[in-house]
Structure 1
Amino acid sequence: MTDSNEPKQLLHLVFGGELTTLTDLQFRDLNDLDIVGIFPDYASALTAWKSKAQQTVDNAHMRYFIVHMHRLLDPQNG
């Protein structure tokens, strides 16, 4: 049960990895994925995503993504 005063958790996963090409979403090495973390809302996930994207800006093949986990967990209300 959750306290009705708490905002609803809308979980977001931030992760990234090096892609095989600039035009495909195929990761070079799945064992080397960078799982940044799971965040309780989009704003905090975006902050983490921006930080990681900025750290890897010199590597054109490195990409970070935000996954809306709450949509996967509850697709009817996501």
Structure 2
Amino acid sequence: MAENLLHLVFGGKVADPQTLDFVDVEDLDIVGIFPNYKTAFDAWKGASQANVDDAMTKYVVVHLHRFMEPEKQ
């Protein structure tokens, strides 16, 4: 069985589209947690494309597995 490398995808309004300074962290859109980068990337791409007309909305992929087992980096 392949090892799960968990990834979190979320997004929201940012103060500056070149940063990750989210304006309202209580109103973040949590897309989900995914078992590998490919499915997380696909979810990120879908959420990003759905909000393409709003330059102040940004979605990110967080590599949760790196936080859970930092010694494996």
Structures share fold, TM-score greater than 0.5: yes
Can you give the 5+ residue segments of structure 1 that lack an aligned partner in the other structure? Answer: 1-5
Q: TM-score, normalised by structure 1?
A: 0.88
Q: Which moved more, 1:21-30 or 1:67-76?
A: 21-30
Task: Specify which of 55, 59, 62 is matched with residue 60 of structure 1.
Answer: 55
Task: Specify which of 23, 26, 31 is matched with residue 21 of structure 2.
Answer: 26
Same amino acid, percent of matched pairs: 48
Structure 1 residue aligned with 2:2: 7
Structure 1 residue aligned with 2:30: 35
Report the 3-state secondary structure (helix = DSSP H, G, I; strand = E; otherwise coil) of the residue aligned with 1:47.
helix
The count of residues paired between Structure 1 and Structure 2 equals 73
Can you give the 5+ residue segments of structure 2 that lack an aligned partner in the other structure? Answer: none
Select the structure of larger CA radius of gyration: 1
Structure 2 residue aligned with 1:3: none
Shift of 1:25: 1.9
Compare the two structures and name the one with the higher helix fraction: 2
Q: TM-score, normalised by structure 2?
A: 0.94
CA deviation vs aligned residue, 1:14-54 (integer Å, no higher than 9, x gap)? 00010012233211111110000000000000000000000
